[in-house]
Structure 1
């Protein structure tokens, strides 16, 4: 299966979550999406230039000493073009990942595993953080910032939370990279070469 065939197949099965998707179908579609993302970033950067953002950063070290400063970021990203590309391709990517899980003998909802893992990690970070007052005197008038910022109190807990989230993503990637089940499974018969080319 070529990248063109994989892309055509995934877009023709835009909303189809049943059945199976072969390893080449999924990974070649992912490769196409990576290429499309680069094209969107280049196009947005050429047409609109870099995205410039200014932020006022406050850092607090372990002995509660604060450092503050105005930071200007110039970033080249997909911008509006990239956002449109992501919106158009999100559903077929999700659908082919769901079918790919079926092809390995797993339920499609395994693709969603990182979502609760990240939610749990963010909850741990939020619940274990405490408010720290920010020195408002040196903040420029055009910046309307909160008087306090929440900072995590335990680096170990923060590390554990992020490890859980990252481990869930690695599990999903490993499952998506597994070989197809050669025989019929509970989702469908195996994909034949004729079906892939058609």
Structure 2
């Protein structure tokens, strides 16, 4: 395979990383690269918005967005799975997402308890708890987004080897030699056209370059 073919193949594969979460639909273990994660999120958001536009055209504002709901439900599991794996790539447990749900649950329970006490002195402790809960939820959300956005660990970590797209494809020895021959022939051609090499010298050095290959 030529050097150009290797580089083209690698580039094509990198643009298809968003398909990995669909192939690993229920896989919460292992690691996922930053490119894989954000490509999938971008495609998922685009699919959801497109489905929402179709729903809007069919049902109007008062209708139920069935297509958007189906897309959201269909992509929920792979979205959580790839988020787990992306955090693993950073060496962070995926269950940090569960802490978000715990904080949301605490807020909901406390808010329900406040239903009959709003405006009274008894409401003050509940309001304080909810305020602290909101701050913790926001801080945790920022932490998660930062982790999702940073490069993964180099080499193996506690969650396994790095994703395959972390490894830069290295052209084979034959591909490198072919690329070197092309560069050498281009250099000799320029020298020949510029009058630096005579016809005989050009043919001699060209033959020598091809023999070395």
**TM-score scaled by structure 2?**
0.63
Name the structure 2 match of 1:21. Answer: 32
| 1:108 partnered with 2:94 | yes
Cα 1:193/1:6, change in 2 over 3 Å = closer
Larger Rg: 2
Look up the match of 1:172.
144
1:184 aligns with 2:156: yes
Task: Flag the 1:8–1:195 CA change in 2: closer, same or farther, 3 A.
Answer: farther
Task: Select the structure that is richer in strand.
Answer: 1
Find the counterpart in structure 2 of residue 126 from structure 1.
112
Gaps of 5+ in 2: 1-13, 170-213
Gaps of 5+ in 1: 53-77, 133-151
Greater share of helix residues, 1 or 2?
2
For the structure 1 residues 170 and 108, does the alpha-carbon distance in structure 2 shift closer, same or farther, using more than 3 Å as the test? same
Once the two structures are TM-superposed, the CA of residue 40 in structure 1 deviates from its matched residue by 1.1
1-side partners of 2:117 and 2:23: how far apart? 50
Aligned residue pairs: how many?
A: 151
Structure 1 residues 161-170 or 26-35, which shifts more? 161-170
Task: Please list the CA deviations of residues 133-172 of structure 1 after superposition, one character each: whole Å capped at 9, or x if unmatched.
Answer: xxxxxxxxxxxxxxxxxxx944952433322222222222
